[in-house]
Amino acid sequence: MHQTQKSFEITDKVLEQVNRYTVEPLEAKDIYCFSLTLCDNDIDRDCERFSLSALKELAVMFCGKSGIFDHDPKGMNQTARIFDTAVAKVEGRLTLDGQPYYALTAKAYMVRTAANADLIKEIAGGIKKEVSVSCSVAKQLCSICGADRAKSACAHVKGKRYGEKLCFVTLSEPTDAYEWSFVAVPAQPKAGVTKHYESRREDRNIVTKLKAELGETNRRLSAAAEFVKGEILRLSYFCKPFYTAQEVAAMTEEMDMHRLIELHKQLSKRISRHSRELDEEERSFITQPQQQEENDEYTI
Ligand SMILES: [Zn+2]
């Protein structure tokens, strides 16, 4: 798993790499170095995976990025910085869908201080920590239909099986890497890499626009529902048994548009059947005496 961070020897080459990111050159005794896995191409618990090309692009983007240890809110300066990254194939390991497994690993350094001595001990001791990465991606491809869900949604549900195929989303074309962090999760056996990503700004604009449209549609729909409820109340006065306004309100309160329309249809039908019955009663009332008269004539 990804939780184990390994410290390694600080060679001259490592020191040179680190010092590319420092204002003042640091010495080996000043720093603590460790390696970690940032992310991989396996399908994660959100049923998402990074593509191999995304891992390679993220490897470049995460160089020089600072990470925070957010298990300790007091540790304001508990940061580490990535100075080297690599994408490596792990021999003999396959992803959930049987592809060769690749991981994006990073080397990070911390400047030793009195405040982070305990934290360094924890890392050196291999305490389990979850690595969380934050980045933006331009493409989110559905494994079933190939639709780019960053642009428009498809009907498939992540984690659901369609026949033999599992629906998952492949994240590719990263546009930016923001930060990474460690969260201590000693009690969580399945802890691994988590990621937070967001779509490009254009996509966020689409989401904002769609939300506004959805709000407008909802307003129209509730106005229409109020109208239908009024019509139902009007029809209910002609029904047998007669419904009170409170009864109608209680009946229609939780109904969605489909059920409201259905109820409206039923009441209309009931009323037209009732008025037909009334018409027939009326007609038989008018015709009855005539027949009797005729009969009377015959009896005479
Ligand atoms: Zn799909």
Per-residue pLDDT of the chain (300 residues; tens, 9 = 90+): 444 456 778 899 999 999 998 888 999 999 999 888 898 999 988 899 999 999 999 999 999 998 887 655 555 557 889 999 999 999 999 998 899 999 999 999 999 988 888 888 877 777 656 788 888 899 999 999 999 998 888 999 999 999 999 999 999 999 988 888 876 554 333 434 555 665 555 566 677 778 888 888 888 888 999 999 999 988 888 877 777 888 888 888 888 889 999 999 988 888 888 888 878 877 776 665 555 444 444 433
At 199 the pLDDT is 53
- 207 CA from centroid of ligand 1 (Å): 19
CA dist., res. 75 & res. 117, Å (int) = 11
- 151 CA from centroid of ligand 1 (Å): 12
- 48 CA from centroid of ligand 1 (Å): 13
- 135 CA from centroid of ligand 1 (Å): 23
- 158 CA from centroid of ligand 1 (Å): 9
Residue carrying structure tokens 């300066």: 77
- Look up the pTM and report it: 0.60
- 148 CA from centroid of ligand 1 (Å): 8
The answer to whether residues 81 and 67 touch, using CB atoms and an 8 Å cutoff, is yes
CA dist., res. 71 & res. 50, Å (int) = 26
Identify the sign of the CA torsion 254, 255, 257, 258: positive
Burial environment of residue 129 by CB neighbours within 10 A (0 to 12, 13 to 18, 19 or more):
buried
92: which 2 tokens?
């003999």
* Residue type, position 193, single letter: V
Asked if the peptide bond before residue 241 counts as cis, ω within 30 degrees of 0, the response is: yes
143: which 2 tokens?
């494994």
- 277 CA from centroid of ligand 1 (Å): 54
- 142 CA from centroid of ligand 1 (Å): 5
The answer to whether residues 21 and 108 touch, using CB atoms and an 8 Å cutoff, is no
* Residue type, position 168, single letter: F
